[in-house]
Structure 1
Amino acid sequence: MKSIFHRALGDKFHDLHPELQKKFGMTSSQKVMILGQGRMTEIRGTPLWLRPFLNIGAKDHLIFAERGKDVPFTLENYSYVDEQGQEAISYVRRFFFPYAIRGFDAAMHYDEEKQAIVDSLGKTASITTVLDVDVSKEGGLLLQSREMNVKNKWTLSEPTTSFYEHYDEKEEAFRVHVHVEHPWLGTLIMYEGLVYAEFLPITFSNIPDRGILS
């Protein structure tokens, strides 16, 4: 079985750094999860006047108003078969601020018709983005949004999301950079940092709420 990223990249998948091939080659048949722990060097973006409105998205683990530097971070990845019978990967992100713990959750699957990764955002998956995938010269993974859909009713070409991840051999960890930008409002959120990851067997106690493991 090929992972959703292997299907999206085709032969380019083998140009990824071996550690990225291991991470993004994970499938539900392996019965493992990835636990990542690290720190975000910086989390910034969104004009001050707009930040209070982001608290609405915080309840859905979609976006949040807090900003800062050297923010502790955890990530859990699960590969599973979703309710539509599709291979999917769940992303459970947690950012630990001094007075709040914020989430940014998502689930990705490969869309055969769009020939792209579809990212369903938040606990309710009310927003989806279509992501094109590529590999950098250094063997890093590149994701760039093509379009955004709100509750399957409105299709937007903005804001745009870009994601880049590569493996730092000196640190033996993954470096991530995420940037969400609006043409009028500028950077809505940007975070980057270093994440150490380990593969763990899935047990009934750590199966995510979304999806059904095959």
Structure 2
Amino acid sequence: MTSIFRTAMGDAAFGRLHPELRRRFSVGLDSGELCVGRGVMDRIWHGRGPVGPLIRPFLALGGTRNILLPRTGRNIPFTIENVPYRDSYGRETVTFVRTFQLPDGPRRFDATMVHSPDRGCVLDYLGTHQHLASELRLTAEPDGSLLIRSGEHRFREGPLDLRVPDLAGADAEVRETFDEDTGRFRFRIRVRVVNRYVGPLFGYEGSFTASYASVQECGIRPGLRPVREEARA
């Protein structure tokens, strides 16, 4: 048994990642490790121009379920908690809970990830109730960085299982690197979310250091798991 990320990428591609990225994305029940990153977002941005007023209501609505970020800012302290556990359906799951210490109070952007054998990818459930599911494709870049691109998005509630249309959806690109050239020895992350019709919607970029601990000793803290879990993968 390997981590859900290694399973999705395959051994060869996973092996091309920088060693520090390999450790971070080996977090899982097999490794027995959890990872907590602490750092600063250099900036959190929203789309400008005509798109700005259009997306603000959607960002605000998403913020009520810990999806998306309804605020912008610079030099924002944040944490990211990657903790593996088995969900109610017996699947290995890894949390990606990001907490941003914005001037008006902390904001969370929650995700929980599982491997989908049928789709051959990591499935990213967004928010506190897992109503939105996004396919994620992970690739190792020539410099050892990790590139994650989103695929199909689906809305799931009760019997509903609907593909989110392109007009309402967005393509996410996440790039994570490990910076050792400057002697800082930090992870760097850049997230960019774009609608193919109206352009850039929001994103953030910054850096953080990571610490590891035993899942068995620490467990998963209260409030980290989603309120509702979706059975479909």
Task: State the TM-score, normalizing by the size of structure 2.
Answer: 0.85
Compute the displacement of 1:153 (Å). Answer: 2.0
**Residue in 2 that maps onto 1:181:** 194
Q: How many angstroms does 1:205 deviate by?
A: 6.5
> What is the match of residue 119 of structure 2?
114
Identity score, percent: 30
For residues 81 and 205 of structure 1, what CA distance do their matches in structure 2 show? 11
8 Å CA contact retained: 1:147, 1:156: no
Q: Is the 8 A contact 1:17 1:167 kept in 2?
A: yes
The question of whether the paired residues in 2 share the 8 Å contact of 1:163 and 1:178 is answered with yes
Supply the RMSD in Å over aligned alpha carbons.
1.7
Unaligned 5+ runs, structure 2: none
Shift of 1:209: 2.6
What's the CA shift string for 1:110-148, capped at 9, x where partnerless?
Answer: 111111111000011111100111000011111111111
1:125 correspondence with 2:138:
no
> How far apart are the structure 1 equivalents of 2:23 and 2:142?
18
Question: 1:65 & 1:88 partners in 2: Cα distance?
Answer: 26
Aligned to 2:221: 206
Q: Which ranges of structure 1 fall in alignment gaps of 5 or more residues? A: none
Amino acid paired to 1:174: F
Q: 1:4 aligns to what?
A: 4
2:162 equivalent to 1:162: no
Q: Which residue of 2 aligns with 1:66?
A: 71
In the alignment, the residues of structure 2 paired with residue 205 and residue 83 of structure 1 have an alpha-carbon distance, to the nearest angstrom, of 14
Q: 2:118 and 2:164 mapped to 1: Cα distance?
A: 17
Q: Secondary structure at the match of 1:153?
A: strand
Cα distance change, pair 45–20 in 1 and its aligned pair in 2 (3 A):
same
- Cα offset, 1:28, TM superposition: 1.5
Structure 1 runs, 4 residues or longer, greater than 4 Å off: none
Judge conservation of contact 2:152–2:163 (CA < 8 Å) in 1.
Answer: no
Does residue 49 of structure 1 match 2:53? yes
Contact 2:40 2:208 in 1 (8 A): yes
Q: How many residues align?
A: 211
> Offset of 1:65 from its aligned partner?
1.8
Counterparts of 1:192 and 1:172, CA distance in 2: 16
**TM-score, scaled relative to structure 1:** 0.92
State the alpha-carbon separation in 1 of the partners of residues 58 and 116 from structure 2: 32
| Distance across 2 between alignment mates of 1:182 and 1:60 | 21
- In structure 1, the partner of 2:18 is 17
For residues 83 and 42 of structure 2, the distance between their equivalents in structure 1, rounded to whole angstroms, comes to 25
- Cα distance in 2 for residues equivalent to 1:100 and 1:55: 14
